[in-house]
Structure 1
Amino acid sequence: MDVNEHRDILITHNRLQNTDDVYTFYYDETNNIRKLYLTDLGLNVEQDDNFVLAGILHKGIQNDADFSALFDTLNLQKTVKELKFKHIAKGPFLDILKSKKLCTVLCWLSKNGFYIHYFNLNLLYWSVVDMVDSIIGELNNPFYIMNHMQIKSDFYELANSNRSVFLRNLKDFNYPNVRGDRCDDFCLWLIAFVNNQGVILPDLNKNILNGLVKESLSIDELPFISGFREGELISEFMVFYLRNLYLYKNSKHVFDEEHQIEDNLKDFPLTENSVPLNNYEFVRSHDYKAIQISDVVAGLFGKYFTYLKNVSDEQLIMDKAELTSQQLETLGALKKIIDVSDELSRGFFNVVSSSGEQRKNNSFLHGV
């Protein structure tokens, strides 16, 4: 894969800045379930918390920050040989905001020339919105194309509101490998499901989504719901590691040891003008304090984005109003380093989630 094939489109479409500059990225992950597939009980995992690939970065190849001084300040127990998120904060998101150690880490990063980056993936959203994309792609209707993000978000809200029924029917239809002779039955079920569950949406949103799924019966083939391994929603996470490698092609990317991903990347070499691009490496986190801090960052965002996915708009407003001074200080430190990072390059942040989750993020963190 030539890195410029998708890179130029991504930069232009999203108006990303400073992507040619040299940075050093450090990565860790949380909630990597390896695979997601349908079972008779729903999904193969009890909790489909958001997958997050995140960490810290700095300009250039070298940074002279004294990690040892930070670790000393954290006053960790002597038995701790490798810093993990659990040593900094525990519990659900609102509880981890109470951690003075977490606030210390975030403030230290800001003062020592570090930035942060993350990729956030809502697993169920990613798995089911192909149905909507399949219909919109075949219709090629400008109205649906212009409003596709809101339509997909509404569809996800319906699927999530009665997920046990929704997932059971997907399993019965062998999604995402619906046989040709069952496509009409699948579309009829989809129409009925949206019509029945759509009462939770505003009338306009419900009518638009209803109109879209009814159009599915007029389409000869829905490419994203057939031809794949039945029951398998996510086969691997390797594709999510690629984006930064080609977007920030001049940078160095240092990942925590992950043998499956490393092997997959070897089978999917990146090139530039037919020349191999070797801009990444996998290391043992025990030897890299920057990777250990990235574990803290990934853990923080894993908790945060899962909180946003599950909290209602009303509860979110009450939660923010009841934050203590320590929680507000930690949240302020998080907002500060996100704002500075975003100003340097918006490409540091990549999100695959519903519009509702993104709206709640803007409200809780940025007050928008």
Structure 2
Amino acid sequence: MDVNKLREMLIRHNGLKNTDEVYTFYYDETNNIRKLYLKDSGFNVKKTDNFILAGILHKGLSTGSDYSTLFKMLNLQKSTQELKLKHIAKGDFLDMLKSDKLSIILNWLIDNKFYIHYFNLNIIYWSITDIIDSIIGELHHPFCIMNHMSLKSDFYELANSNSDVFLNALHEFNYPDIPEEKAHEFCLWLIDFTCIHSCMLSDFRANVLENLVKESLRIEELPFISGFHGRVLIDSFMVFYLRNLYLFKNSIHIFDEEKSIQDDVKDFPLTYNGMPIQNHKFVTSHNSEAVQLSDVIAGFLGKYFSYLKDVNDEQLVLDKTGLTSKQFKTLSALKHIIDVSDDVSRGFFNVVSSEGEQRRHNHFLHGVNF
């Protein structure tokens, strides 16, 4: 696959800078459920926390940083052969903010001119908003296109607050592979569901969303929710591993070994202007301190973004107000390293989540008012 046009479009559309520079990225993941599909009782998995592919990076192909100094500062047990998040912090996100060792790692990364990167995916949001994308894509209405994020986020909030009813209906309609003969019935159900539950939105936003789903009745087909394979919502996260490979094509990308992803990436070679992109490798984390640190970062961010997904606005405000000085110190270090990383390139961050999650992130980390 030649990614020239895709890469240039991504850079131009998002105003990304410094994507041609040379960096060394290290990766680990958390909450990789590998597959998500519908059953008559909901999903095939009990927990649907956000999938995170994240880690650390530095400029250039090498760094003079002394990892052994950091590991000594962490005062790990002598039996610890490989650094994992469980050695640094435990519990939920707010509990992890109490960890002195996590604060040490974040500040060491800052002092040694490391940056962090992450991909944050709300798997439910990503799986169901194709319904809205299908309608918007066929209508070509400028207002809907301009406000597609708000429309998808509002629809996600309705679905998430009534998940049992919503998921049972999707299962009955064989989503995301809705048979042609059931398309009209699905649209009628979609309209009823939206109009019944839209009372949780403001009057204006409820009206806009209701009017959009009503338009589905005059669309011949919904392209994103037909022609798939049964009730499978996610069959691989491989595509998200590729994004940084072509966006930061001059960099080196070092992943923790993951057999299924290795095979998938190998079977999906990338080219740029016809030239192969060969800029990644998979390593055993035991042999890479930077990948071990990426395990800590990915796991911590997994707790953070799943917290933002599940908490409501009111509780979030109470939680932030109630932070201890130790928790606030760790949060400040996280904010600092995200800010300095963002200053280098916003391309280090890729997020697929609802407006509510992003709003809560901006408030909790950056102090932006709701």
Q: Are 1:259 and 2:259 an aligned pair?
A: yes
The match for 1:34 is: 34
Alignment of 1:1-368 (within 5 A): 1-368=1-368
Check whether the contact 1:3–1:249 (CA below 8 A) recurs between aligned residues: no
Q: Which amino acid aligns with 1:170?
A: L
Measure the CA separation in 2 of the matches of 1:76 and 1:50.
Answer: 29
Q: Show CA shifts across 1:137-194 (max 9, x none).
A: 0000001001000000000000100111101100000011111111000000000000
Q: Show CA shifts across 1:251-302 (max 9, x none).
A: 0000000111110111110112222111000000000000000000001110
Shift of 1:5: 2.3
Shift of 1:2: 1.5
Measure the CA separation in 1 of the matches of 2:113 and 2:62.
Answer: 11
Q: Which amino acid aligns with 1:209?
A: L
Q: Which amino acid aligns with 1:102?
A: L
Measure the CA separation in 1 of the matches of 2:146 and 2:167.
Answer: 28
Aligned residues: 368
Measure the CA separation in 1 of the matches of 2:17 and 2:264.
Answer: 29
Q: CA RMSD in A?
A: 0.5
Measure the CA separation in 2 of the matches of 1:256 and 1:230.
Answer: 31
2:37 counterpart SS class: strand
Measure the CA separation in 2 of the matches of 1:261 and 1:191.
Answer: 39
2:281 counterpart SS class: strand
Q: Show CA shifts across 1:328-360 (max 9, x none).
A: 000000000000000000000000000110000
Q: Which amino acid aligns with 1:342?
A: D
Measure the CA separation in 2 of the matches of 1:119 and 1:275.
Answer: 26
Check whether the contact 1:117–1:349 (CA below 8 A) recurs between aligned residues: yes
Where do 5+ consecutive residues of structure 2 fail to align?
none
Check whether the contact 1:257–1:284 (CA below 8 A) recurs between aligned residues: yes
Measure the CA separation in 2 of the matches of 1:188 and 1:69.
Answer: 63
TM-score by length of 1: 0.99
Q: Provide runs of 4+ in structure 1 moved above 6 Å.
A: none
TM-score by length of 2: 0.99
Shift of 1:113: 1.3
Shift of 1:18: 0.4
Measure the CA separation in 2 of the matches of 1:191 and 1:366.
Answer: 37
Measure the CA separation in 2 of the matches of 1:273 and 1:142.
Answer: 33
Percentage of identical aligned residues: 65
Measure the CA separation in 2 of the matches of 1:195 and 1:271.
Answer: 47
Q: Which amino acid aligns with 1:11?
A: I
Q: Which amino acid aligns with 1:221?
A: E
2:76 counterpart SS class: coil
Measure the CA separation in 1 of the matches of 2:246 and 2:276.
Answer: 12
1:62 counterpart SS class: coil
Q: Which amino acid aligns with 1:291?
A: V
Measure the CA separation in 2 of the matches of 1:177 and 1:349.
Answer: 31
Q: Which amino acid aligns with 2:190?
A: L
Shift of 1:123: 0.5
1:152 counterpart SS class: helix
Shift of 1:70: 0.4
Measure the CA separation in 1 of the matches of 2:218 and 2:165.
Answer: 25
2:224 counterpart SS class: coil
Measure the CA separation in 2 of the matches of 1:298 and 1:203.
Answer: 39
Measure the CA separation in 2 of the matches of 1:27 and 1:54.
Answer: 5
Measure the CA separation in 2 of the matches of 1:110 and 1:173.
Answer: 50
Measure the CA separation in 1 of the matches of 2:141 and 2:356.
Answer: 24
Q: Which amino acid aligns with 1:145?
A: I
Check whether the contact 1:98–1:327 (CA below 8 A) recurs between aligned residues: yes
1:13 counterpart SS class: helix
1:224 counterpart SS class: helix
Shift of 1:3: 2.6
Shift of 1:325: 0.3
